[in-house]
């Protein structure tokens, strides 16, 4: 996933894609994160959001349009 400042998050989980009436494709993804646990440690977490095709980069050898 490409962030607005140009940074890239290399691994996201794709859950679904949807084509809007305008023809734009949207993708529902989860981004793996870490969050502070109640006891002060760190635990895995995920952040879910919808993004456009322009915000995603396919994995090498994988066709994102399938």
42 is a domain residue: yes
Secondary structure letter of residue 2 according to DSSP: B
* Residue-number span of the structural domain to which 34 is assigned: 13-55
3 is a domain residue: no
2 is a domain residue: no
CB within 8 Å of 5: residues ≥ 6 apart: none
CB within 8 Å of 44: residues ≥ 6 apart: 32, 33, 34, 35
**What confidence tens digit (pLDDT) does each residue in 4-56 have?**
888 888 788 889 999 999 999 999 999 888 889 888 899 988 889 999 988 88
65 is a domain residue: no
Residue 65 pLDDT: 59
Confidence of residue 1 (pLDDT cuts 50, 70, 90): confident
Q: Considering the entire predicted model, what is its pTM?
A: 0.69
């Amino acid at each position: 996933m490409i962030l607005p400042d140009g940074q890239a998050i290399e691994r996201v989980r794709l859950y679904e894609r949807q084509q809007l009436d305008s023809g734009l494709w949207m993708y529902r993804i989860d981004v793996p994160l870490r969050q502070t646990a109640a006891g002060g440690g760190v635990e895995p977490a995920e952040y879910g959001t919808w993004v456009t095709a322009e915000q995603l980069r396919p994995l090498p050898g994988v066709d994102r349009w399938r």
